[in-house]
Amino acid sequence: MRIGFHTDAFNSAYFDFDKCLEWAQNNDVHNIECGVIDGVSWIHGLGYQPHVVLYEDPLLLRRKMENYGVRFSQVDAAFPLSGKDGPLYGVPYVLKTIPWAKLAGCERIATTDGLHKPQGLSDPEAMDIMKRSYEQIIEVAEAYEITINIEVHGYFTTNPDMMAKMLDFCDSKYLQMNLDTGNTFIAGQDPVAFCKRFIDRVNHVHVKDVSESLAAAVRGDQTGIAVSQCAIGNGVNAPNIRKCLEMLRDHGFDGVLSMECEGRGGPMIEQSLEWLRQTLAELKISVE
């Protein structure tokens, strides 16, 4: 398996993407995941946001990343596809990201649904909208040989029965799943059972713990959290993460484990990295 991290970890530290690359190099991490921005943002332009913009040349960015010994494991184009705005904004956003990701040397793009039941739509209506959206997206993704991952993050995707239907939207090897250990847990699901049910479709993993206080306050009431406010291994979800890693090992998963936690400028994510490396060693999982 390979270890990576999502640059969301450094949102509150106001890192830019280059500083994330420096962190990766300094900590011997060679896989990075970030969001892509379609347009101009003042906070990004001033160097306060750790994501990349689609107007940045992907080949030059790829060359820069290679100098740091880092590559993309996935880019995040997860504008919610479940609501009425999904076809209007989300689909063009993903379609624009696909050729950019190909040139940037990235093989995966994360997509998802909204955190809440979409307003003005029944569940079947929202699912039908998403099905048409994913059919459009996968047609292009197949041409570029880019995997589209459905991330466990929202109202539909944290429901295992709905997730199963979404993964059947298209008969394509380029439609897979991004397992998120934290979002499944905070939604009131069992991350281990979720992993077991979809283990054949797991293409990328977000390793996310959940603090005891957050779990007590909102578990079962929320469907997704951006980042955990505790280091991986220090929360109530750590035993589930360990069991998921065992299952993935036994199934032959050799993809990326992307850490998601509040970085606090470094210390918290470094503690997470130490725990993950130690746990993988204990489970006799080799790391590339």
Task: List pLDDT tens digits, range 123-166.
Answer: 999 999 999 999 999 999 999 999 999 999 999 999 999 999 99
Residue 224: predicted pLDDT: 86
Q: Given pLDDT bands bounded at 50, 70 and 90, which one contains residue 208?
A: very high
| Model pLDDT, residue 158 | 97
Report strand pairing: 52-53 vs 71-76: unpaired
Q: Is the pLDDT of residue 226 over 80?
A: no
C-alpha separations of 198 from 38, 71, 203, 233, 269 in Å:
31, 26, 10, 23, 27
pLDDT band per the 50, 70, 90 thresholds, residue 27: very high
The span from the CA of 150 to the CA of 177, in Å, is 5
Pair 253, 196: CB distance under 8 Å: no
pLDDT digits (tens, 9 = 90+) for 30-65: 999 999 999 999 999 999 999 999 999 999 999 999
pLDDT range class, residue 74, cuts 50, 70, 90: very high
- Whether 244 has a pLDDT exceeding 90, the answer reads yes
Q: How many CB atoms sit inside 10 A of residue 48's CB?
A: 14
In this prediction, residue 227 has a pLDDT band, given cuts at 50, 70 and 90, of confident
Measured between alpha carbons, how far is 181 from 210 in angstroms, rounded to an integer? 9
DSSP letter assigned to residue 13 = T
Q: Is the pLDDT of residue 212 over 90?
A: yes
Residues 6 or more apart from 152 whose CB is under 8 A from it?
A: 112, 158, 163, 177, 178, 179, 180, 183, 184, 194, 224
How far apart are the C-alpha atoms of 42 and 14, rounded to whole Å? 13
Residues 6+ apart with CB under 8 A from 213: none
Confidence (pTM): 0.96
User: Which pLDDT score is estimated for 268?
Assistant: 95
Beta-carbon contacts of 150 under 8 Å, excluding residues fewer than 6 positions away, are 111, 112, 157, 163, 166, 167, 175, 176, 177, 178
Q: How far apart are CA 135 and CA 25, in angstroms?
A: 38
Cα 197 to chain centroid, rounded? 19
- Using CA of residue 114, residue 118, residue 124, residue 125, what is the dihedral sign? negative
Alpha-carbon distance of 256 to 288, in angstroms, equals 10
Q: What is the mean pLDDT of the chain?
A: 96
Please compute the mean of the pLDDT values over residues 74-80 and round it to a whole number: 97
Compute the average pLDDT of residues 165-179.
98
- What letter would DSSP give residue 200? G
Compute and round to an integer the Cα radius of gyration of the chain: 18
- Provide the CATH topology of domain 2-282: TIM Barrel (3.20.20)
Q: Tell me, what's the pLDDT at 263? A: 87
What span, in angstroms and rounded, lies between the C-alpha atoms of 138 and 111? 12
- The H-assigned helical ranges of 79-230 are 91-103, 123-144, 160-167, 181-186, 191-197, 212-218
Backbone conformation region of residue 266, classed left if phi is above 0, alpha if psi is from -120 to 50, else beta? left
| Average pLDDT of the residues in 1-15 | 95
% of the chain beyond a pLDDT of 70: 100
Q: What is the pLDDT of residue 123?
A: 98
